[in-house]
């Protein structure tokens, strides 16, 4: 891959590209015409003397409830005679060219979530046609299996919220922001590819973009059809049950469904963070793995209007330009070196059953692109350290996670109903433990969470709520409920790899995405897939 700078012109005259940053646009006045006037004022030009290339960023600032505004940045073109007296940065648009590459065998991808999909897209960029193995089903069939599970409580352990085409993120809020630097070229490229396959253009510049599960499902299908049209082979209901290694600790292929053997010297492992059976297999095969700290907690659910009034205040509550409100809260106990934070917040969304194993229960959040649901929910999770596992085994986190999920399943009556507690009861503010209405479709069972979660998690959750009550009193609402348990926030292991994304001790094995232990979320997992393929191609050269 090479990168060049693309020269551009306007009206046959070469022009200067500039970045105009930190333009404040009142929420009420946000429009193309108004924003153009503000740009003209900033540049000290007339409106017709510049061309808007693109919006670079758009972030809604909510700090002052009496005045909401967007902080925006633009890339513009001006005549090359323009005197850049204000010191604006110049803007360049990189263009990537991929020269055909060859590997000494057809690459294999295991797992067809964000990391696997984007690894496949990158391999196609280089003119390669990978074999892709997905343990679950196509997204259309997967949706049907999930709906059947919700109605009957009969779980398909290979086709559910966790496993299947598109990965776990397909049944989520579809958040595309990354905890890493959002300005990296790989993150930008991921967003561009999402737009290419059906996402709205605005995800390239809005702060904390989301797609919604309905839009994500369409994008997944579009990516699948594109890859098939480019000669890729995708196998569904095809779980990699063994890895073939040669005597030099090199990957030699994979065995699928305990039957068929596929040979390759390049295997991109994109299993997702819930593939506990694959983690056990990797350990058995001698792949270098370390246990990893995780977070465990609950889902908190409020009526959506409670969060809207908390975030928007009376002035902007119900404003037509504002979607269902989101929040992000955190708490740190510096004495104990533990923390609690909110995660995967789903405004106007629903709580869903994310179980993938019989006899285990875990929950997650999901919302549609409209975010128009009656409730808003988010994970509230507490730090779990390696010492909390009481075991030094690389897979100790699995036992810790499974123990909590088993308790949740039993507390829910062994029917995938979820244990739940009124927030006020949890905080000893009332003796009424009626959970109240919820978006969770499989039913709730009244319980006391202190009987099910480790004491150190309960204590940290309570400390966080008491702290947040001081800053966000509306968050501590008598209608809020806690639903258990949120256990799948990240991978339980780190599959050790080099700076070139290759396993530290197995040549040709590339652990990528959330299951590798190096990323979290759709965008960072997808970017990981791109980077790993680039690294493999460079190594080959």
Reported as a single tens digit per residue, the pLDDT across 432-486 is 888 889 999 999 999 999 999 999 999 999 999 999 999 999 999 999 999 999 9
Nearest to 281 by CA among 272, 273, 289, 292: 289
Under 8 Å CB-to-CB from 52, ≥6 apart: which residues? 36, 39, 74, 75, 76
Q: Where are the domains of the chain?
A: 2-95, 104-290+491-540, 294-486
For the whole model, what pTM was predicted?
A: 0.94
Q: What is the DSSP string of 81-134?
A: T---TT-PEE---EEEE------SS--EEE--SHHHHHHHHHHHHTT---EEE-
What percent of the chain lies above the pLDDT cut of 90?
85
How far apart (Å, rounded) are the C-alpha atoms in residues 405 and 162? 15
Instruction: Say whether 104-290+491-540 and 2-95 share the same fold.
Output: no
Q: Are 173 and 349 in contact (CB under 8 A)?
A: yes
Per-residue pLDDT of the chain (541 residues; tens, 9 = 90+): 433 333 344 444 557 899 999 999 999 999 999 999 999 999 999 988 899 999 999 999 998 889 999 999 999 999 877 877 667 888 887 777 788 888 888 999 999 999 999 999 999 999 999 999 999 999 999 999 999 999 999 999 999 999 999 999 999 999 887 654 444 789 999 999 999 999 999 999 999 899 999 999 999 999 999 999 999 999 999 999 999 999 999 999 999 999 999 999 999 999 999 999 999 999 999 999 999 999 999 999 999 999 999 999 999 999 999 999 999 999 999 888 899 999 999 999 999 999 999 999 999 999 999 999 999 999 999 999 999 999 999 999 999 999 999 999 999 999 999 999 999 999 999 888 888 899 999 999 999 999 999 999 999 999 999 999 999 999 999 999 999 999 999 999 999 999 999 999 999 999 999 999 999 999 999 999 999 999 999 876 6
The pLDDT score that the predictor gives to residue 447 is 96
Alpha helices (H) in 359-504, listed in sequence order:
396-411, 423-426, 455-471
Q: Which CATH number does 2-95 carry?
A: 3.30.70
Task: State the pairing for strand pair 233-235/131-133.
Answer: parallel
Nearest to 458 by CA among 403, 430, 421: 421
- State the helix-helix crossing angle for 114-125 and 185-196, rounded to 10 degrees: 90
* Radius of gyration from C-alpha coordinates of the chain: 25
The pLDDT score that the predictor gives to residue 1 is 46
Q: Which CATH class is domain 104-290+491-540?
A: alpha beta
Q: Which two tokens stand for residue 396?
A: 């100790």
Residue with tokens 């995938």: 416
């Amino acid at each position: 891959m090479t990168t060049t700078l693309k020269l551009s012109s306007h009206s046959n005259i070469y022009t200067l590209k500039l970045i105009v940053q930190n333009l404040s646009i009142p929420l009420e006045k946000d429009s193309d015409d108004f924003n153009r006037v503000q740009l003209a004022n900033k540049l000290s030009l007339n409106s017709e003397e510049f061309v808007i290339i693109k919006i670079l960023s758009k972030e809604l600032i909510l700090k002052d409830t009496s005045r909401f505004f967007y902080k925006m940045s633009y890339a513009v073109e001006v005549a090359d005679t323009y005197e850049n007296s204000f010191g604006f940065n110049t803007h360049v648009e990189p263009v990537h060219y991929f020269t055909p590459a060859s590997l000494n065998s057809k690459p294999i991808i295991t797992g067809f979530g964000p990391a696997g999909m984007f690894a496949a897209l990158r391999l196609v960029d280089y003119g390669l046609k990978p074999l892709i193995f997905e343990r679950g089903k196509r997204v259309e069939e997967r949706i049907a299996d999930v709906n059947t599970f919700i109605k009957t409580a009969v779980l398909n352990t290979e086709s559910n919220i966790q496993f299947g085409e598109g990965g776990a993120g397909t049944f989520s809020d579809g958040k595309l922001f990354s905890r890493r630097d959002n300005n990296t070229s790989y993150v930008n490229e991921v967003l561009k590819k999402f737009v290419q396959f059906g996402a709205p253009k605005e995800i390239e510049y809005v702060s904390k973009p989301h797609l919604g599960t309905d839009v994500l499902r369409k994008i997944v299908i579009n990516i699948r059809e594109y890859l098939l049209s480019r000669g890729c082979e995708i196998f569904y209901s095809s779980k990699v049950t063994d890895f073939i290694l040669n005597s030099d600790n090199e990957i030699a292929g994979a065995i699928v469904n305990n039957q068929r053997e596929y040979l390759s010297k390049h295997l991109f492992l994109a299993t997702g963070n819930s593939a506990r059976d694959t983690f056990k297999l990797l350990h058995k095969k001698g792949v270098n793995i370390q246990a990893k700290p995780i977070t465990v907690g609950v889902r908190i659910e409020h009526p959506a209007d409670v969060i809207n009034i908390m975030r928007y205040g009376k002035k902007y509550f119900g404003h037509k330009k504002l979607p269902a409100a989101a929040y992000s809260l955190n708490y740190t106990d510096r004495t104990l070196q533990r923390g609690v934070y909110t995660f995967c917040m789903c405004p106007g969304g629903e709580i869903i059953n994310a179980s993938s194993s019989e006899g285990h229960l875990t929950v997650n959040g999901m919302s549609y692109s409209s975010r128009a649901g009656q409730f808003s929910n988010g994970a509230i999770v507490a730090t779990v350290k390696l010492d909390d596992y009481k075991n030094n085994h690389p897979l100790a986190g699995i036992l810790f996670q499974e123990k909590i999920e088993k308790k949740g399943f039993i507390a829910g009556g062994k029917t995938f109903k979820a244990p739940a507690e009124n927030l006020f009861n949890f905080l000893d503010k009332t003796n009424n433990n009626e959970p109240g209405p919820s978006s969770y479709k499989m039913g709730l069972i009244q319980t006391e969470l202190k009987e099910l979660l480790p004491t150190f998690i309960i204590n940290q959750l309570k400390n966080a709520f008491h702290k947040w009550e001081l800053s966000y009193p509306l968050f501590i609402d008598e209608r809020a409920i806690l639903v258990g348990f949120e256990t799948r926030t990240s991978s339980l292991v780190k599959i050790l790899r080099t700076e070139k994304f290759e396993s530290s001790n197995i040549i040709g094995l590339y652990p990528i995405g959330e299951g590798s232990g190096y990323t979290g979320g759709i965008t960072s997992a997808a970017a990981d897939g791109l980077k790993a393929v680039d690294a493999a191609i460079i190594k080959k050269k």
